[in-house]
Amino acid sequence: MTTDGGQHRVWRPDWPCGLGVLRLHRRGGGDPTFRTDGDLTWRGIRTPDGPTTLLLERAAGLGEVRATAWGPGAAWVLEAVPAMLGADDSWEGFEPRHPVLVDARRRFPHARIGRTGLLMEALVPAIIEQKVTGQEAFAGFRMLVHRFGERAPGPGAEQHLWVQPDADTIRQVPSWEWLRMHVDPARSRTLVSAARVAGSLERAVTATPEEAERRLCSIPGIGRWTAAEVRQRTFGDPDAVSYGDYHVAKDVGWALTGTPFDDAEMEAYLEPWRPQRGRVPMLVAMAGLRRPRHGARMAPRTHLPASVTRRR
- Examine the pLDDT at 293 and tell me if it is beyond 90: no
- Return phi, psi of residue 149, to 5°: -85, -160
CATH T-level topology, domain 119-235: Endonuclease III; domain 1 (1.10.340)
- Return phi, psi of residue 68, to 5°: -135, 140
- Return phi, psi of residue 44, to 5°: -100, 120
Q: Which residues pair with 52 in a beta bridge?
A: 45
- Examine the pLDDT at 2 and tell me if it is beyond 50: no
Residue 311: pLDDT band by 50, 70, 90 thresholds?
Answer: very low
Cα–Cα nearest to 164, from 23, 78, 45 = 45
Q: What is the mean pLDDT of the chain?
A: 92
Spatial CB neighbours of 22, under 8 Å, sequence gap ≥ 6:
34, 41, 43, 56, 84, 85, 114
- Examine the pLDDT at 224 and tell me if it is beyond 60: yes
In eight-state DSSP terms, residue 207 is: S
In eight-state DSSP terms, residue 296 is: P
Residue 204: pLDDT band by 50, 70, 90 thresholds?
Answer: very high
The separation between the first and the last C-alpha atoms of the chain, rounded to the nearest angstrom, is 21
Number of Cβ atoms within 10 Å of the Cβ of 63: 14
Give the distance, in angstroms, between the CA of residue 114 and the centroid of all CA atoms in the same chain.
10
Cα–Cα nearest to 225, from 116, 284, 137, 111 = 137
- Examine the pLDDT at 266 and tell me if it is beyond 50: yes
216 contacts 201 by C-beta, under 8 angstroms: yes
- SS3 sequence of 1-28: CCCCCCEEEEECCCCCCCCHHHHHHCCC
- Return phi, psi of residue 42, to 5°: -110, 140
Angle, helix 279-286 to helix 99-107, in steps of 10 degrees: 70
The predicted model scores a pTM of: 0.91
Residue type, 157: A
Residue 305: pLDDT band by 50, 70, 90 thresholds?
Answer: low
Each residue's pLDDT tens digit, 115-137: 999 999 999 999 999 989 989 99
39 contacts 137 by C-beta, under 8 angstroms: no
Cα–Cα nearest to 126, from 269, 224, 59 = 224
